[in-house]
């Protein structure tokens, strides 16, 4: 089991992931964030995305054998990581972290736990952040691995930009933790008639580099498996 990064005593009545997932204010912010993304022509950043990121975060942290409470905090951060998009895409991790502080403080979450969640939210974007903790690293990998045709919100195929085409081309994705090899693998099935592998790297190279850094923070190597071809 990985050593806990949190030094405070566990709270007697901790705020749970289920409480966060059912919180109306947070859910309205997630809906609003995706509406902003839709209006700007971005892929889906709503409840489907955050549910996928939370589940992948859970699987990564469970494989790392971190304490149960850290797994839950990772899932909470994953659920809230994109709420800053309700304000604007630019600087949304910092906006989201500030909004999350207010929301979690209202719920009387232990301050050391709020700090852990804020660090993961505020550092999940490749241009301004990095893996500052174990839960931050897991959220980064989970977020950047969510490339899939179901995220495309533009109904007009002829007007797809490269982000739409690349997401639309990905028919399946899975984060696989190879424990014996100490490797975290992103396995993608890409329909090359819709977008080329080169186009995938054109828009996701920086994100994959961030996944590699996050994996190293966890003590693992990062690898891509695209249509059965491995890249490390």
Q: How far apart are the first and last CA of the chain?
A: 26
- Cα distance between residue 119 and residue 223, in whole Å: 25
DSSP H stretches of helix in the chain? 17-21, 24-39, 47-64, 68-80, 92-106, 111-122, 134-144, 162-169, 197-217
Q: Which two tokens stand for residue 83?
A: 């709420």
Domains and CATH numbers, the chain: 17-231 (1.10.3210.10)
Mean pLDDT over each residue of the chain, to the nearest integer:
94
- Quick one: average pLDDT of 96-114? 97
Residue 169 Cα distances to 64, 78, 209, angstroms = 31, 25, 21
Query: What pLDDT is attached to residue 11?
Result: 74
Q: How do residues 50-83 score in pLDDT, each as one tens digit? A: 999 999 999 999 999 999 999 999 999 999 999 9
Residue 220 Cα distances to 12, 182, 216, 223, angstroms = 33, 5, 5, 10
Q: How do residues 117-154 score in pLDDT, each as one tens digit? A: 999 999 999 988 999 999 999 999 999 999 999 999 99
Q: Which residue has the higher pLDDT, 203 or 24?
A: 24
**R_g of the chain computed on alpha carbons:** 17
Residue pair 4/68 in contact (Cβ under 8 Å)? The answer is no
Query: What pLDDT is attached to residue 157?
Result: 86
8 pLDDT exceeds 60? no
pTM of this structure: 0.93
Query: What pLDDT is attached to residue 73?
Result: 98
3 pLDDT exceeds 60? no
Residue pair 83/53 in contact (Cβ under 8 Å)? The answer is no
The total of other beta-carbon atoms located within 10 Å of residue 55's CB is: 14
């Amino acid at each position: 089991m990985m050593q806990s990064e949190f030094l405070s005593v566990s709270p007697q009545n901790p705020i749970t992931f289920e409480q966060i997932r059912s919180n109306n204010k947070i859910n309205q912010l997630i809906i609003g964030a995706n509406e902003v993304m839709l209006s700007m022509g971005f892929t889906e950043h709503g409840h489907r995305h955050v549910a996928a990121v939370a589940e992948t975060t859970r699987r990564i942290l469970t494989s790392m054998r971190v304490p149960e409470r850290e797994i839950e905090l990772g899932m909470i951060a994953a659920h809230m990581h994109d709420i800053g998009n309700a304000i604007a895409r630019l600087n949304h991790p910092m906006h989201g972290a500030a909004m999350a502080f207010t929301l979690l403080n209202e719920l009387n979450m232990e301050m050391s736990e709020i700090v852990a969640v804020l660090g993961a939210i505020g550092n999940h974007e490749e241009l301004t952040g990095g893996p500052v903790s174990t839960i931050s690293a897991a959220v980064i990998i989970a977020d950047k691995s969510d490339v899939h045709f179901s995220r495309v919100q533009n109904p007009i195929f002829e007007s797809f930009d490269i982000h739409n085409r690349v997401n639309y081309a990905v028919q399946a994705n899975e984060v696989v933790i190879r424990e014996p090899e100490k490797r975290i693998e992103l396995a993608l099935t890409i329909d090359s008639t819709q977008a080329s592998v080169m186009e995938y790297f054109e828009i996701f190279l920086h994100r994959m580099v961030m996944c590699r850094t996050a994996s190293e923070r966890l003590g693992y190597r990062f690898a891509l498996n695209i249509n059965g071809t491995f890249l490390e």
